Structure 1
Amino acid sequence: MSELEELLKMLDRPVEAYDSIHSLKKALCALSPNTKELLAASVTLEAPSEKGSKQETPVVTEPKPPAQSAQAPNAREQELLRRLREGEKKYQQKVNEAEKLRVKLQREEKARQEAEGLRGRVEQEAAHLRKDLAQAHKNEEALRDELVKVQGERSRLQEENEVMKGRIEDYEKRVRELEARIGALEGAAAQRELLEARLAQLQRFKEALPEPFPEEALLRVLVLDYPSLGGRAEERVTALIEGYRAFLAGENHPALLHSNRDLLQCEAEGIVLVGLERLLLDLSELPLARWLRTHAFRLETLLQPGPRPTSPRFEEVP
């Protein structure tokens, strides 16, 4: 009965104690033929279908009574047989648990392989990221160096800019001074030209006026150069009349440019006309007498209307 006891001890061991189901089956097959006949156990193999493959799973059937022995087993043998059946049931349960563990192990192995693949991809990506980070650090250092250079260049340019601003301010100040001097010189030049023009005009008046004509009289009386007022007689006469009106009204006129109006130091005490004979010749050449007679006749006709003859052959249209 030692073999039955060993079998029961073997069945009481947990499934994890065996390396595999095949080792457990090998241990069962190692029993003696007498023990097998005593148990009358017929072991058949069944396999759960997984992905089209089959795996052997032992199924224990009820023991058959021995044909050769006519005597009933004693109480100890009955107890051993009962324990053997219970052990077989436990064995079947452990086989099922082992199959579940195998499936779970396969899933965990697949998950482990996927995790390892994902870890490999993550490690590759991390390696790329570390490489990119190292390159970024290099670029950052290069940019920092470039920034330091640019800041130094900027400081140098700012210093030069301050110096240039100072120079520009000095130049602008000097330009303003020169412009002021130029304005003053231009004003002096214009004043000089005006004085020279007046002096030349006074000289012409002095030469044109008969002797003896006092020079201080040129500063008190209006002297007008009649021949310079135009090229034709009607132009000169018209300019003389309009210039005289402008002089009385205190206005400007081109005819007064040929006079000493700007040299007068007070109100004009009189008028001296240079070229009076030219004025008389102009008046004699112009048909003023006929124009005056015609104008007077028209005014007399309008002011003193007389009887007007009528004709039956002529009717005035109102």
Structure 2
Amino acid sequence: MSELEEILKEAARKVLGLPTEAKGSVSSLKKALGALSPNFKETLATPSPDKQSAKNPPQATIVVEAVEVKPKPPSAQPDEGAQKPAAHDRDLLHRLRESQKKLQKKADEAEKLRAKLQKEQRAVQEAQSAKGRALEEAAHLRKDLSRVAEERDRLSAELAKVEADKEALEGQLEGYKKRVDELEARVRELEGIAVQKEHLEAQLAGLSSFKETLPEPFPQEALLRVLVLDYPNLGDKAEERVIALIEGYWAFLKGEDHPALRHSNRELLVGEPEGMVLVGLEKLLLDLASLPLARWLRTHAFRLEALLQEGQRPSSPRLREE
């Protein structure tokens, strides 16, 4: 701007005819130019038409008014001193136009910067608006987070209470399980006792039956040392009773079990029996007598004798043994 002011001052001095050494401010020069007639004023530089547009906002331009310099009437003999100021004026005008172009360029750049500034300002406003929305959303999220935290604390407290109740219930359940186990063991024990009771009752009934069956005087302590077998109860038929007696005796000797031994005092014996008592001996003899056992034994013995012993063999004089 200082260079432009110097150019303007120099042009004003030339137009007003002031000496070069004269000094004054720009405002005093403008007042002197304003006092001149409008016919002597001319616009030295104006903005180019292609840079102005109705769509763009009005830009700041600098218009420099210069006073037309009228040349002096030519004389018959031009002197060289008069041509030098004219060349100097053209140089000043050229420099003035160049300065105007620079100013216009600066104005265009300023307009671009202004547009960029407006764009940045809009971006800043949008960013501030987005920031405001984000802050508002963050506030809502903080409220939601606070509610969630409160709900979490409440649920944690409830969970802790439930865990405590669960531990208490588990302790009670363990106690109930132990009690159930004890009761089941007691039930099994009572069932065993009941089985033993039934067994003892059955033995007592057997002893009572043996006592009634055995003749008097038969000592009761002998039932613990002597095997007593109730023959009449071994079956309904004679052959069933005889077969049961024989098979039961074999089982007793082998230490095995047999249905016939259920009609004895085998379980009451202490150690090896000292003897055997057969209740119903006469029934046994009657069964043996009623069965064809004697005849079968005799027939079987005769058959064996006929097979084992050779009798007298007949011979024929007409036949000779080879």
Into which bin does the TM-score normalised by the smaller protein fall? 0.5 to 0.7
Structure 1 residues 91, 257: CA separation in 2 closer, same or farther (over 3 Å shift)? Answer: same
Three-state SS of the structure 1 residue aligned to 2:278 is: strand
| Corresponding residue of 1:21 | none
RMSD: 4.6
**Residue 210 of structure 1 aligns to a residue in which SS?**
coil
Counterpart selection for 1:225 from 209, 213, 230: 230
Question: Which among 113, 137, 159 is matched to residue 122 of structure 2?
Answer: 113
Once residues 297 and 52 of structure 2 are traced to their aligned partners in structure 1, the CA distance between those partners, rounded to angstroms, is 149
The SS at the match of 1:88 is helix
The AA in structure 2 aligned to 1:123 is: G
Which residue of structure 2 aligns with residue 19 of structure 1?
none
Match 1:46 to one of 33, 49, 56: 49
Q: How far off its partner does 1:219 sit?
A: 3.1
Correspondence list, 1:18-167, <5 A: 32-36=38-42, 41=44, 45-48=48-51, 69-70=73-74, 73=82, 75-76=84-85, 78-151=87-160, 153-154=161-162, 157=165, 160-161=168-169, 164=172
| Aligned residues of 1:222 and 1:260 also touching (Cα < 8 A) | yes
**Cα distance in 2, alignment partners of residues 205 and 183 from structure 1:** 32
Cα distance change, pair 117–67 in 1 and its aligned pair in 2 (3 A) = same
Letter of the structure 2 residue corresponding to residue 211 of structure 1: E
SS of equivalent to 2:48:
strand
Question: In 1, distance between residues paired with 2:114 and 2:47?
Answer: 25
**Which one-letter code corresponds to 1:82 in the other structure?**
D
C-alpha deviations, 1:73-107, integer Å up to 9, x for none? 56556534422321221111211221132123223
Structure 1 residue aligned with 2:19:
none
User: Pick from 235, 250, 258: which aligns with 1:245?
Assistant: 250
Return the alpha-carbon distance in structure 1 between the equivalents of residues 171 and 40 of structure 2. Answer: 120
> What is the CA distance between 1:42 and its match in structure 2?
7.5
Q: How far apart, CA to CA, are the structure 1 residues paired with 2:242 and 2:10?
A: 159
- The Cα shift of 1:112 comes to 2.7
1:259 corresponds in structure 2 to: 264
Within a 5 Å distance, the mapping from 1:290-301 to structure 2 comes to: 291-292=296-297, 295-296=300-301
What is the rounded CA distance, in whole Å, between the counterparts of 1:67 and 1:156 in structure 2?
116
1:271 aligned counterpart, secondary structure: strand
TM-score normalised per structure 1: 0.66
Q: Which runs of 5+ in 2 are unaligned?
A: 12-33, 312-322
Q: Any conservation in 2 of the 1:234–1:286 contact (CA below 8 Å)? A: yes
Q: Distance between the aligned counterparts of 1:277 and 1:5, measured in 2?
A: 170
Q: Which amino acid aligns with 2:284?
A: L
- Provide the rounded CA distance (Å) in 2 between the counterparts of 1:50 and 1:282: 151
Take 2:202 and 2:269, find their aligned partners in 1: how far apart are those partners?
15
Match of 1:313 in 2: none
Q: Match for residue 194 of structure 1?
A: 199
- Cross-structure match for 1:16: none
* Number of residues of Structure 1 aligned to a counterpart in Structure 2: 277
8 Å contact from structure 2 (residues 7, 92) kept in 1: no
Name whichever of 276-285 and 65-74 sits farther off.
Answer: 65-74
The 3 A distance-change label for structure 1 pair 114 and 180 is closer
Q: TM (normalized to structure 2)?
A: 0.65
Q: Which runs of 5+ in 1 are unaligned?
A: 12-29, 307-318
| C-alpha separation in 2, matches of 1:304 and 1:193 | 60
Which deviates more, 78-87 or 127-136?
78-87
SS where residue 47 of structure 1 aligns? helix
**Which residue in the other structure is 1:172 paired with?**
178
AA aligned to 1:225 is D
SS, match of residue 277 in structure 2? strand
Q: CA deviation at 1:181?
A: 5.5
Amino acid at match of 1:157: D
Deviation string, structure 1 residues 96-121 (Cα, Å, up to 9, x no partner): 22113212322332233234224323
CA displacement, residues 142-175 of structure 1 (integer Å, 9 cap, x when unaligned):
4324434543x24752674487368x27x83696
Paired position in structure 2 for 1:8:
8
* Structure 1 CA distance for aligned equivalents of residues 54 and 258 of structure 2: 125
Aligned match of 1:203: 208
> In 2, are the aligned partners of 1:226 and 1:274 still within 8 Å (CA)?
yes
Cα distance in 2, alignment partners of residues 5 and 212 from structure 1: 169
Decide whether the 8 Å contact of 2:230 with 2:278 is kept in 1.
yes
